[in-house]
A = this chain, B = another copy of it.
Amino acid sequence: MDTIQSDSYPIFFDDSLSELITFIKQGKYSRTFVLTDENTSAQCLPVLEPLLAELDNYDLIEINAGEESKNIDFCVGVWKMLIDFGADRKALMVNLGGGVVTDLGGFVASTYKRGIDFVQVPTTLLSQVDASVGGKTGVDMDGIKNIIGTFTQPKAVFMSAAFLKTLPERQILSGLAEMLKHGLICDADYWKELKNSDLSLPSVELIYRSVEIKNAVVIEDPQEKSIRKALNFGHTIGHAVETNSILNDERPLTHGEAIAIGMICEAWLSHKKAGLPKEHLHEISTVLNGLYPKYPVPDTCHNVLYELMQKDKKNTEKQINCTLLTKIGCFSIDNICTEDELCASLRYYAAL
């Protein structure tokens, strides 16, 4: 399987973990820091450690697992560890984990001494097909996702299916939502292929295609001025549902579960406003509703969800902009949706 070339950096698939060690050795870094969370320390570090042993030295930094750790306090913790270890400008940070570790680690590295090198080793399906490609780094604040961050490219990304073996099924499904999204916005054949596959552990070939799609989009529009907005399909409503769930539920939705809800709602908006044929809407709702557990979004929470959408960083001047589909495989950006339309789409989902 070929290495995918992104803007300024390679994304390795074949033999990627030995490529990682080669990369570190050739980079002549003064020091290597491996950032993990509790779970990736336990599950993923053992996969990497025999290879890391080839290095002269490396240091481990661990954060707590979960979205609640993706905040500025944990950044301060990691920055201070780097200071204590005496990390200089030629240090390297290896982010070994899901999107929380790759986003936070990328932000910390991009701001430590005004930027040190970092590489991403995504260990969840979601971070492989989405978070580790595109150069967005960041953390949450005041319940707003990714509100503080930078656009900074890693020096390389290393994809390994080995990590997915220990990943809980719910996390597989979470990443799958983004893969389905890639099909819906850009590639009807890929959508069809996914729909007909065994999705309990997606094949490397399917992952590869998702990375190709995401990469092609972000290369064309690194700063999210235009077509990169395609990737927001399902995310205007999905992000609000996710944030609300994190704030209120004992066992919050995963990102993918929330985005699946968002995609159903936004498919309905697509049908109403952007010409998505009725059969396509039905196909999308049926597939997504079949894969993901049903989640209550009663009318009483529409208010809160709408406020969260307004606070969302994608919306300028309080207007809610959605990316919609014109048909399966084709998107349309910057569709202004009213509060009434958004609430109606939530009702469509609730009534399925």
Contacts and interface: CB of A to CB of B under 8 A. Distances in A.
Nearest to A319: B88
Contact of A148 (B89, B90, B112, B311): B112
A80 B141 CA distance: 8
Interface residues of A, number: 37
Contacts of A89: 313-314, 316
Interface string A116-151: 000000000000000000001110011010111111
A6 interface: no
A313 B88 contact: yes
A72 interface: yes
Contacts of A314: 89
Q: Is the interface of A mostly helix, strand, loop or mixed?
A: mixed
B79 A148 contact: yes
Nearest to A144: B83
Most buried by B among A88, A107, A313: A88
Nearest to A91: B316
Given A83-B142, A83-B144, 4 more contacts: A86-B310, A86-B318, A114-B313, A150-B150
Interface of A: 30, 72, 76, 79-80, 83, 86, 88-90, 107, 110-115, 136-138, 141-142, 144, 146-151, 310-311, 313-318
28 contacts: A30-B317, A72-B72, A79-B141, A79-B147, A80-B141, A80-B142, A83-B141, A83-B142, A83-B144, A83-B147, A83-B311, A86-B311, A88-B313, A88-B316, A88-B318, A89-B316, A111-B111, A111-B148, A113-B147, A113-B149, A113-B313, A114-B136, A114-B137, A114-B138, A114-B146, A114-B150, A115-B150, A115-B151
